[in-house]
Every structure is written in C-alpha cells, then in structure tokens.
Amino acid sequence: MNGALFRYIFKRVLLMIPTLLGVITLTFAVIQFVPGGPVEQMMLELKGRGEASVGAGESSGGGATYRGRQGVDEERLKEIKALYGFDKPVHERYFHMLKRFAMFDLGQSYYQHKSVWELVLSKMPVSISLGLWTFLITYLISIPLGIKKAVRAGTRFDTATSVVILIGYAIPGFVLGVLLLVLFGGGSFLQLFPLRGLTSDNWAQLSLIGKVMDYLWHLVLPITASVLGSFAVITILTKNSFLEEIRKQYVITARAKGLSEDRVLWKHVFRNAMIPLVTGFPSAFIGAFFTGSLLIETLFSLDGLGLLSYEAVIRRDYPLVLGTLYLFTLIGLVTKLISDIAYVLVDPRIQFDSQGGRA
C-alpha cells in the first residue's frame, strides 16, 4: 500500500504543476486586456495634478501653464512604463514572473512599496483569528448537534433545530453583521461590543488577562456574523452521515447481540460516520484562513486578506494580485492532497490502485 500511496502522491504533485501554471497563465493573460492598469492610473493622476495646477494659476491671475493640460508627454510615459515593467514585451514579463514564482518570490506591490510576502504576513493575524474561531465554533457546535438530530430524527427537536439552522443559513453574513451592529454595537439600541478592530486602543497597557478578554470581546460580533450560516452545512452532513450508518446491517447485528444504544452509537457508528467529516478537516481548516469574507472585514473594519485582495484588484496592483493568487492556489492544491491522504489515515480499508487513484 505504501508504494501505491507514494506513487499517487508523486503523480498528484506532478499534476499540481500544470494546474498552477494554467491558473497563473490565464490570470496573466486576462490582466493584459483589462483597462485601467497601473500605467493608465498614473497618467490620469498626473493629468489631474496638471489640471489642478492650471486652475490654481488661472485663479491667481498668473500666466503659468502646465503640460498636463495637453496630456502626459511621451518621455514621461516611457518612464512610467519602465517603472512598472511594462516597457518589456509580454512574453518576457511572463517568463520573468514564472522564474520569480519558482523561487517563491511573490514580487513587490506597486502602490504599497512592500513585498507581497510582507503584506500577506501582516494581514495573517486578522485572517487567522477569524478563520480559526469560525472553524472551531462551527465544528464544535455542528457535529454534536448533527449527532443529536440523527439519534432523534423525525422528532420535534429535529424539526425545530432544522428550521433554526436553515433560517440562519438563509441570512447573509453581512446582513446579520449590520443587524448586530445596530442592536449591540452602539447603533439604535445597546453598546455592548466595539465597532471595529480586534483590539482596543489601550491594548498595550492592559494586563495579560485584560488583553485576552479585550481580544475575545472584539471577536464576538464578527465571529457571530461569520459562523451562523456555516452551521447548516456541517450539521446536515453530520446528521445524514450518521443516519446512513445507523441503517446499515452491522448496526442491526450489534443491537441483536444485546449491545446498548450508547455503545453501538459511540463505538461502531461514530467511527465510520465521522470519516467524511474528519477527512474534510484539512481543507476546512486551511480554507477558513484564506476565504475570509470581504464584507465582514469591511463592516467591522478588520484589515485581513479578503480586504487586501479586493484592494489589489481595484487598484490594479498586479504583483499583489498574481502573488496572492499563486500562493492561495498552491495552498489549495496541497490541502486537497492532504485531504485525500487523510482518507487512508482515517480508514485503512481505502487503497490506492496502480493508476494512482483511490480504489
């Protein structure tokens, strides 16, 4: 089995290369045709400054003029293109980008004048806070609730909880966030929680316990807005997985042998029913860090990876767009591979055939 598993991992790693290359190539090609790039934005900024200078000169009665009134001259345009690397042919820029990515150099931001790695790492605390707490709270509530619903399937408890979690699933996170701010964030009613950020302004002066409490206090509203819609998927998946196992022949046999319901549920059903959930942990755990809601971050003034990616697209900060895309795609591919390997670790019955797939 080990040899087949190693061959499968090797083939999957080889397949990651064309997948990653395809994503980067497609994005790079689209960027070449998107209007309003960094060169055009700089030209518009210079023209705007020129028009402002002319207006100031005319209002003061002076006869000064500015060439921005007629546009940016050719020499300045060449300087701008050289500044952003657009003075080189497309194919040369493309292969230079691939060379950098091969050495895990994500490049330098056009506008923030920092490396993409530095920017990503600076936003990670916010994304880790939101992602980790969202993951933990979702699974710690949804799995026990799903088990309880499976055991009591068809009862009033099952019906009532299904209605509640489906209502929560139907409410968008940002709408709930606005409602929470209005009710508890100093809107029209109570001010129980802060409006923005993960820490207070005096956080550095607080004691260790005070810092922890202040951090958790700031997380209540954004985490509540983030996790409410996540309960439905995991809860229903857990319930259906347990119901499927409960109806199998080995459960009927275990009951016929006189085993108690608790022993049947926790010793036999639990181990098999948790396989699809446990194997999804790696992708859910990693994905929670890099799929933060832009609207939640904006609503609660949280400067995370979601807001960073959005601003990069709006400002046409191409190194930041391509660098973060490359990093997140690579992490996604590796996480998917780890999830597949987790099947073998959780359930040894799963084998990898000679073709490199699961049998």
**Smallest Cα–Cα separation from 340: which of 278, 291, 290?**
278
pLDDT tens for 197-217 read 888 888 888 888 988 898 889
Tell me the whole-structure pTM to 2 decimals: 0.76
What is the torsion angle, in degrees rounded to the nearest 10, for the CA atoms of residue 243, residue 244, residue 245 and residue 246? 40
Calpha distance 303→292 (Å, rounded):
11
29-86 pLDDT, tens digit each: 888 777 777 777 777 766 665 555 555 555 544 444 444 444 566 777 777 777 777 7
Instruction: List, for residues 121-145, the tens digit of each pLDDT value.
Output: 998 888 888 888 888 898 899 999 9
| CATH code of the domain occupying 116-314 | 1.10.3720.10
Please report, for the chain, the start and end positions of each structural domain, with discontinuous segments joined by +. Answer: 19-102, 116-314
Per DSSP, the residues of 7-68 read: HHHHHHHHHHHHHHHHHHHHHHHHHTT-SS-HHHHHHHHHHHHHHHHHHHHHHTT-----GG
